[in-house]
Each structure stands twice: as structure tokens, then as C-alpha cells.
Chain A
Amino acid sequence: MNDNVHDLKMPSFGADMATGTLVEWLVKPGDSIKRGSVIAVIDTHKGAIDLDLFEDAIIEALLVEVGQQVTVGTPIARLRSLGPSAAAEQESIDSHNRPDNRQDNRQDVTNEALPNVRQDAPEFILATPAARAFALKQQLSLPLLYAANNNRIVTLKMAETAFTQGGRFQPAQTIVAEKREKQQSGFDNHAMRQAISDTVTRSKQQIPHYYLSQRLDISALEHYLQNYNSKVSAEQRILLAAPLLCAIARTLIKNKQLNGVYANNTFSANDTVNLANAINLRAGGLVMPVIRDAQTLTAPLIMERLKEQVERARSGSLRVSELSDGSCTVTSIGERGAEQMFAVIYPPQVAIIALGSPHQEAMVVDGIVQVRSIIEATLAADHRVSDGHVGARLLYQLNQQLQKPDQLWSI
């Protein structure tokens, strides 16, 4: 094998995932594929997920057949990476599919010998006692670590590194799918509830949460939005969620202690805001697709992302790249319901912002009582990383930003 040729392995979408089934190939040998393109559909017990490529490459060979179930880490396709000059000649793709360096590392590029496809029960995994204890404590999956480390004995160092990387070795995001035709739902509700239960339990056990609440005056924003929507077609209308996410992203980038990941007793601030947005699906599932570099997007662009992601969430075609690397989460009650919500931080993140339903309140503005549109926002944050005044500053700045809605429509 020459240097450009390497194997794409069956990725993991959660610590409890040991195998995946190749449901559909969307490419064939000889195809030249651009970064971000979906090349296969993989089925896990939690539902189907689209596998997208993290690089420009040519498909050299497909190593697994449709319908074949393989363990995580098994090579499923042989790729020949295309050089940077070749990539530049190709058409530009959606910038939000462009991964950062950390994701490239997680692609497990290797030229070593390939493990056999295993379809029997998981074997005893070789790991040092320290690694075993660490994995148990952090709820990492030994089979996944073993496979991802090319079937070498799992050491404590490997486990710690994997834990820092998050995502693939932990129950990071839960995934849901509906069958592509209008039939019975394709995901395992019980498995999903179990995954959510595990995550929130772990969060509450390990993360010392502190809570702050702030009323956001969205009167100016509502007015601006109404005006904007009256001038565009229905397809271009923007929902309140979009400028809210926009404002939150722009405020988060200025408050680094709330935007990043905590692992291995260390906090790493993110240099960009990958904003995870909690979406409740009709059949009862919960997904949190990530809007990458959200602080660089305008409200209309965020609306586009939201539409795409809701659509993909519904059809079970969310991509690996949009379910990983969240640096903070926003969750919201929606338009009707509770006025205030306190949320649970989603590890390894360190903060979560929850938005209540918009409602009107009598407030004193400039010395007189007025009727204002209000959203109660709460922040739950990791006290190991930040103190109350940091959280308070974020909420204050957020409210200030929302008083200048026109700024959210431009960069």
C-alpha cells in the first residue's frame, strides 16, 4: 500500500455501540468523493446514520457488503486520499461540513494489517488493569478502544487520550431514525431512553452544576423579525430560534469558560462555537445536531442549517460530522409550555442554555410600565470551570445583544 491509501473503519456513535450494519453503499469503487459527501448508511441499534467522508478521496474498494454487520473499528472501505491540489480543483462544498483537525485524527488513518471481520460475540479485551478501571469509571467502551487502537493492548494512556477526545468513545449523542418511507419508526425507543438516562445520570453525578436565570427582552427582536418576514417569501421566513441561536453563539465566543470540553480534569476552551441544538422528534426521540462555527453565521444562515437538520433528523440521515464536537448546547421549550426550564449539562461540555417559552410581561422600561415580550433563559454551568459571575456576564451580554437585532442579520 502506498502512503495515500488507507482504510475507513466502522465508526462508533456511542460507548454502547459495538457493531454496525452496512445498510447501503452510496458509492462504488473508482468514485472520486468530496469531503462531506455521504458514502454509506449504517444501522445501529439506535437507528440509521449517514457516514460522511472527512477528506477528499477515491474509493479504491468496498470491503464490506450490504447487510453485513461488523464490529466497530473494522475496515469497511479502502480509500486513496486526494492531495490538496486535487481538492482545490473540485467544487466547493458546504463549509459547515468541513471538519477541524481533531476530527481528521479520529478517522484512524492507518497502514497496518486489517483485523478480520468478526460477527460473533465480543471477545475478552486485552487491557491493563489501570485502563480497565479508568474505562469503567468514565464509562468508556473497552472493545471500542481496542479496535480504535488497532487491536493493541489498551493502556491507561490510550484510554485517557480517548476520553479527552470524547465523542466516539462515550455515549455522546443519541441518534434517532425514521424509516425513509412512511412506516413504523425505525429506532429503539428503549435503547434511546437508556442512553439519555445514562448520560444525564453521569452528568449529575460528576458535574457540579450552578444555575443562573435571566429574563431576555425579545420585544425588539420580535418586531424586527416580524418586519423581515413580512418582506420575504414563506421559504425564506425565519423562526425566532435562529436569531436566538445566533446571539447565543456570538455571546459564547466572548465567554470562553462556557464554550469547550472538560475531560481528564482539564478544561479546553474551543476557539469556535459548535452549538448543539436539542431537537425533540415526533416519535419521541431527542437529537442534538451541531451547528459548526455558529458565531460566524447570520440568523438567515442559521435558519437554513436548522431546516436542514430538522429534515435530516426526521429522515434518519443526520451525519457523523453534525453529531460530534458540540462545544455548548441550547435547549428550548418552544412556543407553548413552561416559562422556565433548567437543563442538565451534556458531558463533556461545560454549560447548557435553556430557553423558556416566549410570553408577555409587564416590565418597567425607562421608568414606565410597558408590555414586553420575554423569554426566561437559564444557564447551567460546570462549577469546576467557571464561577457565577462568568455565567451572569454571559446572560447579561446575551440580553444586550438581543436589543440590537439588526446586527444578527449581518456578520
Chain B
Amino acid sequence: MDNQQIKAIILEELGNIAPEIEASDVPDNEDLREALELDSMDFLNLVIAVSKRTHVAIPEADYQQVLTLNGMTRYVQNLLA
């Protein structure tokens, strides 16, 4: 899975959680919770969905690394490599 594919998966799952948001409106390097007003349940659902699709587990201790779109993409890619 390459960078673009991972990003696409994340954006897709974001679309399930926040359907009113266009993929093009999702910033690359901002805290998703603030930029998209995701609460803790939203964020947990995002982590669960992305983990399931990429088969990469994201423990709570690593949440700081996956708060942005680029951050989460990078994290998943590193663990898939």
C-alpha cells in the first residue's frame, strides 16, 4: 500500500464519520480533532476503522503521532513497510 492509498483510506473513513466534509477540505497537517471537530468517540472510530482496513494497530500511546492526516498516513506506512 502506498502513501496515496493509505491517505485515501483515511479520507474515506473520515467521510463515514463526518459525511458533510469534503475530502479536499481536510488539512494535511492540522490536528484532525480540531480542524474537523471530531470528538473522542469520532477519533476512536477513525482509529478502529483505519486499523481494520490497513491491518495496522494504533495503540493509545501512539495517538500523538496520528493526530494529523499526514501523521496518520506516515505512521501506517512505516508499520507496513
Interface residues of A (CB under 8 A from B): 178, 182, 185, 226, 229-230, 233-235, 237, 239-241, 280, 282-283, 306-307, 310, 334-336
Contact = CB atoms under 8 A, between A and B. Distances in A.
B20 interface: yes
B15 interface: yes
Interface string B15-48: 1001110000000000001100101110010011
A109 to B, nearest CB: 38
B8 interface: no
B40 to A, nearest CB: 5
Given A229-B60, A230-B59, A283-B20, A334 B47 contact: no
A182 B19 contact: yes
A239 B44 contact: yes
Contact of A234 (B19, B37, B57): B57
Contact of B51 (A178, A182, A234, A283): A234
Given A237-B44, A336-B33, A282 B20 contact: yes
Interface of B: 15, 18-20, 33-34, 37, 39-41, 44, 47-48, 51, 57-61
Contacts of B48: 234-235
Contacts of A307: 41
A256 B20 CA distance: 42
10 contacts: A178-B19, A230-B60, A233-B57, A234-B58, A239-B40, A240-B40, A241-B41, A307-B41, A310-B41, A336-B34
A241 B20 contact: no
Contacts, number: 41
Nearest to A335: B40
In the A-B complex, list the 9 residue pairs whose CB atoms are closest, starting with the nearest. A182-B19, A234-B48, A229-B60, A334-B39, A239-B40, A234-B51, A335-B40, A310-B41, A234-B47
A394 B39 CA distance: 28
A86 to B, nearest CB: 39
A230 B63 CA distance: 12
Contacts of A282: 18-20, 37
A21 to B, nearest CB: 24
B22 to A, nearest CB: 12
Contacts of B57: 233-234
A241 B40 contact: yes
A307 B51 CA distance: 18
Contacts of A241: 40-41
Contacts of A237: 44, 60
B41 A239 contact: yes
A310 B58 CA distance: 22
Contacts of A226: 60
A309 to B, nearest CB: 10
A237 B59 CA distance: 10
Nearest to A240: B40
A334 B20 contact: no
A330 B9 CA distance: 35
B40 A334 contact: yes
A241 B44 CA distance: 13
Nearest to A182: B19
Nearest to B34: A336
Nearest to B43: A335
Nearest to A307: B41
Nearest to A239: B40
B33 to A, nearest CB: 7
Nearest to A334: B39
Given A234-B47, A241-B41, A335-B40, 12 more contacts: A178-B19, A185-B20, A230-B60, A230-B61, A234-B44, A239-B40, A280-B39, A282-B19, A282-B20, A283-B20, A335-B33, A336-B33
A169 B57 CA distance: 48
Contacts of B61: 230
Nearest to A332: B39
